[in-house]
């Protein structure tokens, strides 16, 4: 038999645990040991007066048969065939038959062999979970009584020995009842332990699944700094490429800064840790174990801020959409009234005031339109764009904003092509182009628009030659309603980023270009 075959698990029997088969295996090992001892005893005392005349050879034959039967039972236990209860009954029956036959060869050995038969009954009850224990006791009692009755008929025993045999049979039943009660109790404990093991296994699988899919990273650390567990998310947030070996790898070898800070942390406190992958908020939770283990929870601050931002914007979007619809009607009336007043204006003061009304009404109308566009960002109909189509869009927007032709430098490869929603792309490029012209020097070549493919991503950059974005404003550029222009709405860049993300693209500000520079990156062609 090859190694693969020997390593295969043994087949199970429905209704029985693996411990039942182990018990039966141990029981049969006892039987093999006893049979071997009986064989040697028969050979050693074959010429003594221990046996009746002419029965020594029969005793040796019975012991050899007992040894052979026990050896054959080993094969059945290994194969798990036939079923457990059938094998156990066969074991007890073989013990009863062969012990009674051996008892018939010697009156001096009958009492001792009868006590050994009690061990078989008790073992059968314990190994078989209490099933059929009283039946085994009854079978043994009947067999012993029959053997004793034949001995009396043969003249080798007297009637007064029935009392001793009766006590032995009563002992069989007492042992059977005790084995039955103890086995039922052990079986209940074993079933309870199995249920608890299954529940614990299920709980471990649930915990492993929850840890694996948690947005936060989890590190379990011993008091001496050895890592007991590290979730994949924790390794990603810390930027650790190598696998961590639980119980061996030290935290200081993976993240020295985190190791030093965690030693100084008090339970319930937190601190901020910057890694190449993210900015983390680290919390310490003690486990109250003898080795002072603790759990470090690594929270990605950017994800928490994005989630809060999404919730805020969702509520803001619903509110502003309702308000925008309510504003448009009175706003149209104000604009119309201002136009009528403008036709009847008699002096410069009235004309100036009417101009203020119209300018602010136009600003409010643009704000309403941007809010409504924001709420329609999920209605995408992407189409194919190439270099020619993108160039036409840039030229159209340049003319709309009245930007001189020589002020814009366009640089893009002829093989450029990508997919994007046309209305969304128009809104994004319009906002970026308008802002770039507003803050540029308004000279020839002030605006530079370039497009290229890098790593399978199409990148569109719009840069100007202005003063650039102030350092204190860089973190607020894409926040809604943030603006440095008194005439701006503060929604342009925010709207552009939202539309970019709706098209699976990213819009970011690129520092270090002298002037302002914004990049729109999305999946593109070759």
Q: Do both 462 and 349 map to the same domain? A: no
Q: Do both 184 and 36 map to the same domain? A: yes
Q: What are phi and psi of 515, to 5 degrees?
A: -100, -160
Q: Do both 91 and 159 map to the same domain? A: yes
C-alpha–C-alpha distance, residues 275 and 136, integer Å: 73
What's the structural domain count of the chain? Answer: 4
What mean pLDDT comes out for the span 504-515? 84
pLDDT at position 488 is 62
117-158 pLDDT tens trace? 999 999 888 887 777 888 999 999 999 999 888 888 877 776
- Please, what's the b/e burial string for 219-249 (b: 16 or more CB within 10 A of its CB; e: otherwise)? bbbbeeebbbbbbebbbbbbebeeebeeeeb
What mean pLDDT comes out for the span 453-465? 85
Q: Do both 401 and 315 map to the same domain? A: no
Looking at 319, 344, 375, the residue that finishes a domain is 375
pLDDT at position 3 is 41
pLDDT at position 300 is 82
Q: Do both 391 and 366 map to the same domain? A: no
Banded pLDDT at 9 (limits 50, 70, 90): very low
What mean pLDDT comes out for the span 424-440? 89
Give me the percent of the chain exceeding a pLDDT of 70: 88
Q: Do both 502 and 445 map to the same domain? A: yes
pLDDT at 505 over 60: yes
Task: Tell me if 27 is assigned to some domain.
Answer: yes
More confident residue, 375 or 79: 79
Tokens linked to 360: 């602010």
Q: What dihedral angle (degrees, nearest 10) is formed by the CA atoms of 344, 348, 353, 355?
A: 80
Here the CATH number for the domain that contains residue 265 is 3.30.450.20
Looking at 359, 375, 391, the residue that finishes a domain is 375
pLDDT at 218 over 90: no
29-51 pLDDT tens trace? 999 999 999 999 999 988 888 88
C-alpha–C-alpha distance, residues 29 and 336, integer Å: 106
More confident residue, 328 or 408: 408
Task: Tell me if 489 is assigned to some domain.
Answer: yes
pLDDT at 525 over 60: no
- E-strand ranges in 339-473 read 383-386, 408-411, 417-420, 447-454, 457-464
Q: Do both 297 and 317 map to the same domain? A: no
Q: Do both 132 and 176 map to the same domain? A: yes
Tokens linked to 158: 């007297």
- The residue whose two tokens read 């109790």 is 185
Task: Tell me if 200 is assigned to some domain.
Answer: no
Banded pLDDT at 2 (limits 50, 70, 90): very low
Looking at 279, 301, 323, the residue that finishes a domain is 301
pLDDT at position 378 is 60
pLDDT at position 17 is 63
Sheet with 506-509, edge to edge strand ranges: 408-411, 447-454, 457-464, 517-523, 506-509
Task: Tell me if 204 is assigned to some domain.
Answer: no
Mean pLDDT of the chain: 83
Banded pLDDT at 319 (limits 50, 70, 90): low
pLDDT at 355 over 90: no
DSSP letters for 141-186: HHHHHHHHHHHHHTTSS-GGGHHHHHHHHHHHHHHHHHHHHHHHHH
Lowest mean pLDDT among 13-22, 168-177, 495-504: 13-22
Q: Do both 13 and 119 map to the same domain? A: yes
State how beta strands 447-454 and 457-464 pair.
antiparallel
Task: Tell me if 206 is assigned to some domain.
Answer: no
C-alpha–C-alpha distance, residues 55 and 46, integer Å: 9
Lowest mean pLDDT among 214-223, 272-281, 312-321, 336-345: 312-321
C-alpha–C-alpha distance, residues 446 and 464, integer Å: 6
Q: What angle do CA 123, 128, 134 make, to 5 degrees?
A: 75
Cα-Cα-Cα-Cα dihedral sign, residues 75, 78, 84, 89: positive
Q: Which among 332, 338, 367, 373 has a CA at the least distance from the CA of 353?
A: 338
pLDDT at position 1 is 39
Q: 289 CB contacts (<8 Å, ≥6 apart)?
A: none
Banded pLDDT at 312 (limits 50, 70, 90): low
What mean pLDDT comes out for the span 491-507? 83
* Residue 149: how many other CB atoms lie within 10 Å: 13
pLDDT at position 92 is 94
Whether residue 361 contacts residue 334, with contact meaning beta carbons closer than 8 Å, is answered with: yes
What mean pLDDT comes out for the span 89-108? 92
Banded pLDDT at 403 (limits 50, 70, 90): very high
Banded pLDDT at 286 (limits 50, 70, 90): confident
Here the CATH number for the domain that contains residue 369 is 1.10.287
Task: Tell me if 105 is assigned to some domain.
Answer: yes
pLDDT at position 5 is 42
Q: Do both 120 and 261 map to the same domain? A: no
Task: Tell me if 207 is assigned to some domain.
Answer: no
Here the CATH number for the domain that contains residue 404 is 3.30.565.10
Q: Using alpha carbons, list the distances in angstroms from residue 302 to 237, 274, 309, 316, 506.
A: 11, 11, 10, 20, 15
pLDDT at position 264 is 79
State how beta strands 417-420 and 383-386 pair.
antiparallel
C-alpha–C-alpha distance, residues 66 and 63, integer Å: 5
Q: Do both 398 and 503 map to the same domain? A: yes
- The residue whose two tokens read 């990603």 is 236
C-alpha–C-alpha distance, residues 134 and 170, integer Å: 11
Task: Tell me if 28 is assigned to some domain.
Answer: yes
pLDDT at position 305 is 67
Q: Using alpha carbons, list the distances in angstroms from residue 175 to 117, 146, 148, 171, 521.
A: 11, 20, 21, 6, 84
Whether residue 473 contacts residue 490, with contact meaning beta carbons closer than 8 Å, is answered with: no
58-90 pLDDT tens trace? 999 999 999 999 999 999 999 988 989 899 999
3-class DSSP assignment, residue 503: coil
- E-strand ranges in 372-437 read 383-386, 408-411, 417-420
3-class DSSP assignment, residue 241: coil
More confident residue, 74 or 400: 74
What mean pLDDT comes out for the span 315-343? 73
pLDDT at position 415 is 85
3-class DSSP assignment, residue 193: helix
Q: Do both 12 and 153 map to the same domain? A: yes
Q: 88 lies in which domain range?
A: 3-195
Lowest mean pLDDT among 73-82, 315-324, 393-402, 475-484: 315-324
pLDDT at position 4 is 41
pLDDT at position 423 is 82
Banded pLDDT at 346 (limits 50, 70, 90): low
Whether residue 277 contacts residue 233, with contact meaning beta carbons closer than 8 Å, is answered with: no
User: Which of 153-162, 206-215, 327-336 has the largest mean confidence?
Assistant: 206-215
């Amino acid at each position: 038999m090859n190694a693969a075959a020997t390593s295969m698990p043994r087949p199970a029997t429905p209704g029985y645990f693996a411990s039942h088969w182990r018990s039966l295996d141990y029981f049969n090992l006892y039987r093999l040991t006893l049979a071997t001892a009986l064989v040697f005893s028969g050979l050693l005392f074959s010429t003594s007066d221990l046996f009746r005349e002419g029965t020594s050879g029969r005793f040796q034959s019975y012991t050899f048969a007992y040894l052979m039967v026990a050896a054959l039972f080993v094969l059945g236990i290994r194969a798990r065939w036939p079923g457990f209860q059938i094998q156990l009954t066969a074991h007890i029956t073989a013990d009863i038959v062969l012990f009674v036959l051996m008892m018939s060869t010697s009156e001096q050995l009958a009492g001792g062999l009868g006590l050994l038969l009690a061990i078989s009954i008790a073992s059968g009850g314990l190994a078989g979970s209490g099933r059929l224990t009283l039946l085994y006791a009854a079978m043994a009692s009947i067999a012993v009584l029959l053997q004793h009755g034949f001995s009396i008929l043969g003249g080798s025993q007297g009637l007064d020995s029935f009392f001793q045999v009766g006590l032995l049979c009563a002992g069989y039943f007492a042992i059977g009842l005790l084995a039955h009660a103890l086995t039922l109790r052990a079986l209940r404990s074993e079933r309870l332990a199995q249920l608890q093991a299954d529940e614990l296994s299920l709980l471990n699988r649930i915990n492993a699944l929850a840890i694996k899919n948690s947005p936060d990273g989890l590190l379990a650390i011993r008091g001496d700094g050895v890592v007991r567990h590290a979730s994949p998310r924790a390794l990603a947030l810390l930027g650790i490429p190598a696998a961590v070996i639980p119980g061996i790898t030290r935290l200081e070898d993976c993240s020295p800064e985190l190791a030093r800070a965690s030693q100084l942390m008090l339970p319930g406190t937190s601190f901020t840790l910057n890694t190449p992958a993210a900015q983390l908020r680290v919390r310490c939770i003690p486990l109250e174990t003898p080795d002072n283990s603790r759990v470090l929870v690594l929270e990605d601050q950017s994800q928490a801020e994005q989630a809060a931002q999404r919730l805020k914007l969702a509520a803001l979007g619903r509110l502003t959409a309702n308000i925008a619809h309510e504003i448009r009607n009175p706003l149209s009336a104000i604009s119309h009234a201002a136009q009528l007043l403008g036709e009847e204006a008699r002096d410069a003061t009235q004309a100036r005031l009417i101009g203020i009304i119209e300018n602010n009404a136009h600003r409010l109308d643009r704000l309403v339109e941007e809010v409504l566009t924001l709420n329609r960002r999920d209605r995408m109909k992407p189409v194919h764009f190439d270099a020619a189509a993108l160039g036409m869009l840039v030229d159209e927007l340049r003319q709309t904003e009245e930007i001189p032709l020589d002020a814009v430098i366009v640089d893009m490869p002829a093989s450029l092509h990508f997919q994007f929603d046309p209305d969304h792309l128009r809104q994004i490029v319009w906002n970026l182009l308008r802002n770039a012209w507003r803050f540029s020097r308004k000279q020839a070549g002030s605006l530079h628009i370039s497009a290229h493919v890098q790593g399978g991503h199409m990148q569109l950059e719009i840069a100007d030659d202005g003063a650039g974005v102030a350092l204190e404003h860089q973190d607020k550029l894409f926040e809604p309603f943030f603006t440095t222009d008194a005439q701006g709405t503060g929604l342009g860049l925010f709207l552009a980023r939202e539309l970019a993300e709706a098209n699976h693209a990213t819009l970011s500000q690129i520092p270090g270009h002298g002037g302002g520079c914004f990049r729109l990156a999305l999946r593109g062609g070759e």
